Amino acid sequence: MNKEEFRQLIDEIEPESNLEQRMLEGVHTHQKKSRKTRNTILSICMVLVVLLAVPAYISGLPVPRGKENERTISDEISEDDFIRFASKKEYEKYVKDNFVEEEGDFSIFSGLRAKGNFAYAVEEAAVDYAAEDTALNPSSNENFGQTYLQVEGVDEADTLKNDGKYIYYLGSSGVRIYDKNKKLVGTISKDDFDGWIADLFRYKEQLIVIGSDNNDGQKTKVVVYDLNHIKEPKSVDTFVQSGIYTNSRRIGDMLYVVSNMNIFPGEIYPKANGKEMPVEDICCVPNPDNKSTVVVSAINLTDMSSKKCTKAIVGAGSEVYCNQDNMYLTASHYDYKKDLITSTILKIKLGKEVEFVASAKLKGEIHNQYSLDEKDGYLRVAITETSDQGKDICNLYVLDENLKTVGELKKIAVDESIKAVRYLGNVAYVITYEETDPLFCIDLKNPKNPKILGSVKISGFSSVLMPIGEDQVLGIGYYTQNEDYTDLEVQEGVKLVLFDTSDKKHPKVLDTKVYKDCYSEAQYSAKNVVLYGDDYLIPMQYNTDQGGLLQIGIEGDKLNIKTQFATDQMVTAMKVTYIDNTGYCLCDDDIDSTTFK
Amino acid sequence: MQGKEQFKRIYDTYGEMLYRVAYLYTGNSYDSEDLLQEVLIKYMTRILPFRDDEHEKAWLLRVMINQSKNLLKKSSKKEQKLSESELKVEDAGTEQHLDLVSEIGKLPFEYKTPIILYYYNDYSVAEIANIMKISPSAVKMRLKRARDMLKIHLEGYEYE
């Protein structure tokens, strides 16, 4: 079916008669109501709070600030231990008793809606480039672009990997392997996957390709290719687990793969390599919000024939924060009855095997993996909560190793939602956005008592934060001209901001650069930022409809754009990387390059 | 009433299109009318001017998407039943039309939006990325995956 046929069919949807008249009356009623209500605000503010609890036709009204309707439930919803099952019978009974009567939940929707983004849920990533583990780097001088990591030593999957000799890029036709001279030297066709390819890892002599296999339900497929024959890399091992691919990490030899599967009546056992998982390996978070089951596997890449450990837990997870020891999965859920959004955090201990150790539930929604950080056994979580009036409130919690809340900082900002977070030791940098758009510096030295040290207001917002040493932070984000009253404004360009955070009580903006009507993939994910020495490379789409890259240097308290490269052959650049002093832009099946000065 | 002319213009230009978009999200006329009402109210109470017609249209769609999302979030439990049962009862179009509407109804929210904007509203990938505030690659990926999920074959385009 083409677009024209599609439109014609949709145009068959006929509104009922008199729709225009009824809509006009609705607007008219609203205008009368809101005039009346505005008068009421002036006299008795409390009445308005009650009115707003029935937001049928007055949702467009301005909401008075500073009056929070406090919830009565505890912020940390108390959790019991995981539910484990002694026999298949017990598990089947549990599933039947708890889930089967709610038929609506047995659908493709329940798992997906948890957060929506699977493959690209990895949204962001970051770390100290110098500290990657050396096994990754076969070249001695390491003069090539690598995936920006959140935690050193914890490799993250990406759509581009570079080993200094070849660039492996996930284009629209599959994996394309280029040499330094942009020559296509090898390919891996996406036809090898009966679905899509999502992510790549490059490790030792191997390229690990992760994707989905849609034959007979949703499955996640991991294929290891031997790169000794670069022209036609040979697949040496394949591993398949149930569920839609969510995310993955590599720590040394171990690859950890996470997927989400929906349990249906008659299909309640996740599978690993075609075999139903034993019931001992399945458990359930207490009071699961979601019937989606997280499947996590540990795969030893140096010994693929060894037993893989796969475990499953009911209660979805979409965002992954992972350090050398633990992986944390988060999933948000809207409870219809309580009218409350909660996030479940699941802690998984990593090693040769994986083990579910604790879970917690917090009010609100976790923005992405950068909202979490573990230090000295404490997990710090920045979270956006939505109040009864639909206002956003930013909070930060400190949880102990059992995920019990030990400290909290409430209402860092009201009417703002979290757009970016970075932790650097005992300081958290939080960017919020809606009305005043500040950067906050938060002191986490005392886990029981996190406190705001200072803040600076900026227009627009940064969506990716890159700490530069102790005293500066680079923000990559959005330029917005249109200060609309809702979150509906169209962002209108790329904005780079250099913050001075040497005085945490008084952070300040040192320099900004704006590219109007341009956009960059780096606005969406730190994974699209590449560190080049002390500089930063980001892909760009310029307002001339050309793709390209920017080389951003920091000189003292100034941003210095060292290279602004636009290619003629591509309308946008999805990824950038470099080998030696050549920068590469890639998009679909195109590649172009420029030489840095 | 204030702005009657303005209302008429916006309804004549976009009213039915927005209603159909709402219908694709909710699968029933009751919720679709509610959503359209909310969008029109938001439009009529908006103070800031639009840059041009395109900005206005994109804004209306964006508000419709947000409202639909809020509604679906709130009625996540009901929604399954609505989209399954009511679609078939209420809608009296051709069989092919019914198939398409119910297939789209089954898509997860994140996958519905790009399909609607791309095939029904004829937006480009870059425009959809701007409206949805996600990356163009994410739009492409969602379009592709949504097409894979639909039982009805939708043509992909080389230069999305």
What pLDDT score was predicted for residue A80? 54
List the one residue out of A380, A320, A379, A382 whose CA is nearest residue A354. Answer: A320
| Rounded-to-integer distance, Cα B105 and Cα B84, Å | 8
Higher-confidence position of A341 and A239: A239
Contact between B93 and A12 using a beta-carbon 8 Å cutoff: yes
Q: Residue A75: pLDDT above 80?
A: no
Contact between A490 and B101 using a beta-carbon 8 Å cutoff: no
Higher-confidence position of A175 and B45: A175
Interface probe, candidates B9, B11, B41, B110, chain A, greatest A C-beta count within 10 A: B41
| Rounded-to-integer distance, Cα A204 and Cα A381, Å | 34
In sequence order, which residues have a C-beta less than 8 Å from that of residue A120 and are 6 or more positions away? Answer: A525, B135, B137, B138, B141
Q: Which residues pair with A161 in a beta bridge?
A: A168
Q: Tally Cβ neighbours within 10 Å of residue A293.
A: 27
The C-alpha of B82 sits at a distance from chain A's nearest C-alpha, in angstroms, of: 10
Candidate from A16, A108, A119 with C-beta closest to B141: A119
Contact between A16 and B108 using a beta-carbon 8 Å cutoff: no
Contact between B145 and A196 using a beta-carbon 8 Å cutoff: yes
> What backbone phi and psi angles, to 5 degrees, belong to A351?
180, -145
Candidate from B41, B73, B155 with C-beta closest to A1: B155
The C-alpha of A527 sits at a distance from chain B's nearest C-alpha, in angstroms, of: 13
- What is the pLDDT averaged over residues A147-170? 95
| Rounded-to-integer distance, Cα A460 and Cα A512, Å | 11
- CA A587 to chain CA centroid, Å, is 21
- What is the pLDDT averaged over residues A114-132? 27
Question: B94: which chain A residues are within 8 Å (Cβ-Cβ)?
Answer: 9, 12
Higher-confidence position of A307 and A134: A307
| pLDDT band at residue A73 under the 50/70/90 scheme | very low
Distances (CA, A) of A309 to A221, A239, A306: 15, 11, 9
Order of strands, edge to edge, in the sheet holding A493-500? A461-468, A472-478, A493-500, A508-516
Higher-confidence position of B108 and A258: A258
| Rounded-to-integer distance, Cα B143 and Cα A391, Å | 32
Sign of CA dihedral B124, B126, B129, B131: negative
Helices of type H across B75-108: 76-81, 87-90, 95-106
| Rounded-to-integer distance, Cα A159 and Cα A120, Å | 10
Give chain B's end-to-end CA distance (angstroms, integer).
44
- What is the pLDDT averaged over residues A563-591? 90
Candidate from B1, B15, B23 with C-beta closest to A31: B1
Q: Residue A48: pLDDT above 70?
A: no
| Rounded-to-integer distance, Cα A523 and Cα A453, Å | 27
A54: left (phi over 0), alpha (psi -120 to 50) or beta: beta
Candidate from A23, A491, A523 with C-beta closest to B15: A23
Contact between B94 and A574 using a beta-carbon 8 Å cutoff: no
Distances (CA, A) of A35 to A29, A47, A63, A484, B20: 10, 15, 14, 22, 31
Poorest-pLDDT segment among A77-86, A256-265, A395-404, A487-496? A487-496
Residue of B nearest to A27 (CA): B41
The C-alpha of B104 sits at a distance from chain A's nearest C-alpha, in angstroms, of: 11
Candidate from A60, A119, A524 with C-beta closest to B134: A524
- What is the pLDDT averaged over residues A296-321? 85
Interface probe, candidates B35, B99, B137, chain A, greatest A C-beta count within 10 A: B137
Q: Which residues of A142-155 are buried (b: 16+ CB within 10 A; e: fewer)?
A: eebbbbbbbbebbb
pLDDT in tens, A442-493: 999 999 999 999 999 887 788 899 999 889 999 998 887 544 333 334 456 8
CB A293 within 8 A of CB A260: yes
What pLDDT score was predicted for residue A69? 33
Q: Which two tokens stand for residue A496?
A: 């780079």
Question: B44: which chain A residues are within 8 Å (Cβ-Cβ)?
Answer: 27, 30-31
pLDDT in tens, A500-534: 999 999 999 999 999 987 888 898 889 999 999 99
Q: Which of A24-28, A75-79, A103-107 has the highest mean pLDDT?
A: A24-28
- What is the pLDDT averaged over residues A242-258? 93
Element (H, E) at A180: none
Contact between A1 and B133 using a beta-carbon 8 Å cutoff: no
| pLDDT band at residue A77 under the 50/70/90 scheme | very low
The C-alpha of A53 sits at a distance from chain B's nearest C-alpha, in angstroms, of: 14
CB A212 within 8 A of CB A244: yes
Q: Residue A222: pLDDT above 90?
A: yes
Q: Which of A32-46, A302-316, A487-501, B67-81 has the highest mean pLDDT?
A: A302-316
Instruction: Write the DSSP symbol of residue A159.
Output: S
Give chain A's end-to-end CA distance (angstroms, integer).
50
Instruction: Write the DSSP symbol of residue A336.
Output: T
Question: B126: which chain A residues are within 8 Å (Cβ-Cβ)?
Answer: 541, 572
Instruction: Write the DSSP symbol of residue A82.
Output: P
Q: Which of A108-117, A587-596, B53-62 has the highest mean pLDDT?
A: A587-596
| Rounded-to-integer distance, Cα A192 and Cα A190, Å | 5
Q: Which residues pair with A296 in a beta bridge?
A: A258, A311
For helices B29-45 and A19-43, the axis angle rounded to 10 degrees is 50
| Rounded-to-integer distance, Cα B114 and Cα B110, Å | 8
Residue of B nearest to A340 (CA): B74
Q: Residue A211: pLDDT above 70?
A: yes
SS3 content of chain B, % helix, strand, coil (to 5): 75, 0, 25
| Rounded-to-integer distance, Cα A350 and Cα A311, Å | 12
For tokens 């404004």, the residue is: A489
- What is the pLDDT averaged over residues A415-429? 87
| Rounded-to-integer distance, Cα A423 and Cα A561, Å | 26
In sequence order, which residues have a C-beta less than 8 Å from that of residue A381 and are 6 or more positions away? Answer: A345, A362, A366, A371, A372, A396, A397, A398, A399
What pLDDT score was predicted for residue A443? 94
Order of strands, edge to edge, in the sheet holding A405-414? A372-375, A378-386, A392-399, A405-414
Contact between B38 and A11 using a beta-carbon 8 Å cutoff: no
Sign of CA dihedral A345, A351, A353, A355: negative
Q: Tally Cβ neighbours within 10 Å of residue B149.
A: 16
| Rounded-to-integer distance, Cα A290 and Cα A285, Å | 10
What pLDDT score was predicted for residue A196? 80
Question: A27: which chain B residues are within 8 Å (Cβ-Cβ)?
Answer: 1, 7, 37, 40-41, 44
Q: Tally Cβ neighbours within 10 Å of residue A349.
A: 13
List the one residue out of A210, A240, A243 whose CA is nearest residue A225. Answer: A210
Q: Tally Cβ neighbours within 10 Å of residue A597.
A: 7
Contact between B148 and A214 using a beta-carbon 8 Å cutoff: yes
Q: Tally Cβ neighbours within 10 Å of residue B48.
A: 11
pLDDT over 70, % of chain A: 80
Question: B149: which chain A residues are within 8 Å (Cβ-Cβ)?
Answer: 108
Order of strands, edge to edge, in the sheet holding A219-226? A197-203, A206-213, A219-226, A234-242, A271-272, A275-276
Element (H, E) at A309: strand A309-314
Tens digit of each residue's pLDDT, chain B (160 residues) = 667 888 999 999 999 999 999 999 888 888 899 999 989 988 887 666 676 788 889 889 988 887 787 777 666 544 444 444 444 435 556 777 778 888 888 888 778 899 999 999 989 888 887 777 666 666 777 788 788 888 888 887 644 5
Contact between B33 and A6 using a beta-carbon 8 Å cutoff: no
Contact between A109 and B66 using a beta-carbon 8 Å cutoff: no
Interface probe, candidates B8, B119, B144, B159, chain A, greatest A C-beta count within 10 A: B119
- What is the pLDDT averaged over residues A125-147? 49
Contact between A23 and B108 using a beta-carbon 8 Å cutoff: no
Q: Work out the burial of residue B75: count CB atoms within 10 Å of its CB; fewer than 13 is exposed, 13-18 middle, 19 or more buried.
A: middle
Question: B97: which chain A residues are within 8 Å (Cβ-Cβ)?
Answer: 9-10, 12-13
Residue of B nearest to A336 (CA): B74
What pTM was computed for the model? 0.68
The C-alpha of A420 sits at a distance from chain B's nearest C-alpha, in angstroms, of: 15
CB A552 within 8 A of CB A561: yes
List the one residue out of A70, A266, A275, A248 whose CA is nearest residue A147. Answer: A248
What pLDDT score was predicted for residue A101? 46
Higher-confidence position of A386 and A509: A509
